[in-house]
A and B are shown apart, each in its own frame.
Chain A
Amino acid sequence: MNVVEQGARAADPLVIAGRSFSSRLFLGTAGYPNQKVMLDAIAASGTELVTASIRRLDLSSPEEGLVDLIAGRADLLPNTAGCQTARDAVLTAELAREALETNWVKLEIIGDRELLYPDVEELLSATDELVRKGFVVMVYCNDDPVTCRKLADLGAAAVMPLGSPIGSGLGIANPHLIELIAARSPVPVVLDAGIGTASDAALAMELGCAAVLLNTAVSKANDPVAMARAMRHAVEAGRLAHRAGRIPRRRYAEPSSPQFGLVGS
Chain B
Amino acid sequence: MTKASSVALPRIRVNGADEPLAAATIAEFLTQRGIDPTGRGVAVALNGAVVPRARWQDQPLHDGDSVEIVHARQGG
Residues of A within 8 A of B (CB): 28-32, 38, 51-57, 59, 62, 65-68, 76, 78-79, 81, 91, 94-101, 166-167, 215-216
A34→B41 CA distance, assembly (Å): 21
Nearest Cβ in chain B — how far from A70, in angstroms?
Answer: 8
* Given A56-B68, A91-B45, A98-B43; 14 other pairs, CB 8 A cutoff: A29-B75, A30-B74, A31-B74, A52-B72, A52-B73, A53-B76, A56-B69, A59-B33, A66-B74, A67-B40, A79-B75, A81-B76, A99-B43, A100-B41
**Inter-chain contacts of B15 with A (CB < 8 A):** 56-57, 59
Q: Within B14-70, which residues are at the interface with A (CB < 8 Å)?
A: 14-16, 33-35, 40-45, 48-50, 52-53, 68-70
Q: B71: CB under 8 A from chain A?
A: yes
Nearest Cβ in chain A — how far from B30, in angstroms?
Answer: 10
In the complex, 8 of the A-B residue pairs with CB atoms within 8 angstroms, ordered by the A residue number, are A30-B74, A51-B76, A54-B73, A66-B74, A79-B76, A94-B50, A99-B70, A99-B72
A63→B44 CA distance, assembly (Å): 17
**Using a Cβ–Cβ cut-off of 8 Å, how many residues does chain B contribute to the interface with A?**
26
Contact B43 A29 (CB under 8 A): no
Interface of A (DSSP majority class): mixed
Contact B43 A96 (CB under 8 A): yes
A91→B69 CA distance, assembly (Å): 12
The answer to whether A91 and B16 touch (CB under 8 A), given A30-B74, A53-B74, is: no
